[in-house]
Amino acid sequence: MTRYGPMYGPDITFLGVDRCDLTDPASFEGADVVILGAPFDGGTSHRPGARFGPMAMRQACYLAHDGSRPSLALRVDGLKDIRVLDAGDVECFSGDLETSIRDIEAAVHTIAASGAIPVVLGGDHSIALPDARGVARHHGFGRVSMIHFDAHADTGEIEFGHLYGHGQPMRRLIESGAIRGDRFLQIGLRGYWPGPEVLSWMAAQHMRSYEMTEIVHRGLTECLTEAFAIALDDCDGIFLSVDIDVCDPGHAPGTGTPEPGGLSARELLDSVRRICYELPVVGLEVVEVAPPYDHADITALLGNRVVLEALSAIARRRSGDPWDPRRPLLDGR
C-alpha cells in the first residue's frame, strides 16, 4: 500500500490532530482512534465526487485547527480526552476498484489490529466492504454487528456487470460472512430502489431495515432502541456506517445520489451520539460526502460533525462517567 498524506488538497489532518504513519507501528501505538481517508469514488452509479470527501471533512470547521473540540453536550473533548491520530489517505486510483478495496481493507485491518478504532472518511459507499471486513478480520467474522444509516439498501447483486460498487457492498459483506445478515440493521431507507427481487434476498438474510415511514410513525428513538437490542445480541462490537444521504438533501445536498424525505442533521447527530455512547463501536465510516454538489459547505460540515459527535461520545463512554441527556448545560438559579 502506498500513501502520501492526503491525496487531494493541502497536507492537513482532521482538525489538526497529530498524524501517524501506518507503515510505522510506533507512530500509532496506544491510539484510541485512527482516522483514515479513503478518497475513492470509482464505484458510484451516478454523480462522482466523493473522492474529495476526506479533504472536505478534515477541514470543514470555522474554529481553529488546534486538535481540540470540547463538546457542550457531552462535556468531554473528543480530540484530546482520547488519543486521536490521522493516518492520511489510502492511495486510491478511482479507475481501479479492486486494488483500492484491497489496500483500504489492509489499512483498516492494521488500525483495528493495533487496538484502535478506525474512523474512515469516504469516498463512495463501495468502501463499506473493505472497512467492515477489515474490522471483522480482527474481531472475527460474524462477531461484529452493522448499523447502517442510508437512504439506500446497498444490497444490489450485480450493477453494470460488476460485483463491486457503491450499490452492492452490504450484499458482499453478508456473502463473505464478515457481517451476519441477522445482525444487519439499516436505518433511513426510502425512495424507489431496490425492487422486489433484492428485497426478498434481504428478507432471506434476516436483515432488519427501517424505512422512513416506519421511523416517522414509531419514532426514531424507539426504532434505534429496538435496533440496539438486536445489534448487541451475541456480538463483540458494532460497525457504524453513515452514508450522508440518509439525511434529507436539504440537510446534505453535497452527495451523489440524493433522495428526498430523509432524516434531519439533528436526528443523525443524536443517533450517532447514542450509538457511540451506548454501544461498543469498533469501527465507523462516513461516506458519500461529494463536495462538487455541496452548497455553503453544508454537507462537509455535517460530515465533520458526525465524526466529532462519534469521537465525543466514545470519549464520554470511555470516561466511565454516566451521561444524562436531560442535564442542563447551565442553570444559574
Residue number with the smallest Cβ distance to Mn ion:
152
Given the complex with Mn ion, which of 243 and 248 has the nearer CB atom?
243
User: Applying CB under 5 A, which part among 45-53, 207-215, 236-244, 292-300 lies near Mn ion?
Assistant: 236-244
Is 150 a binding residue for Mn ion by CB under 5 A? The answer is: yes
User: Applying CB under 5 A, which part among 50-58, 100-108, 134-142, 151-159 lies near Mn ion?
Assistant: 151-159
Among 103, 131, 245, 309, binds Mn ion (CB under 5 A): 245
Q: Which residues of 63-72 are buried (b: 16+ CB within 10 A; e: fewer)?
A: eeeebebebe
Given the complex with Mn ion, which of 4 and 160 has the nearer CB atom?
160
Q: What nine digits make up the cell of 209?
A: 431495515
Measured from the CB of residue 333, what is the shortest distance to Mn ion in angstroms?
Answer: 46
Beta-sheet strands, E only, within 123-236: 144-149, 184-189, 208-211
Number of residues that bind Mn ion (CB under 5 A): 5
Angle in degrees, 0-180, between the axes of helices 169-176 and 128-139, rounded to the nearest 10: 20
**CA nearest neighbour of 124 among 185, 231, 184, 44:** 44
Q: How far apart are alpha carbons 293 and 66 in whole angstroms?
A: 28
End-to-end, the C-alpha distance of the chain in Å comes to 58
**Do 109 and 21 form a contact (C-beta atoms < 8 A)?**
no
Given the complex with Mn ion, which of 152 and 180 has the nearer CB atom?
152
User: Applying CB under 5 A, which part among 57-65, 155-163, 191-199, 239-247 lies near Mn ion?
Assistant: 239-247
Is 103 a binding residue for Mn ion by CB under 5 A? The answer is: no
Measured from the CB of residue 255, what is the shortest distance to Mn ion in angstroms?
Answer: 8
- Residues near Mn ion (CB under 5 A) are 150-152, 243, 245
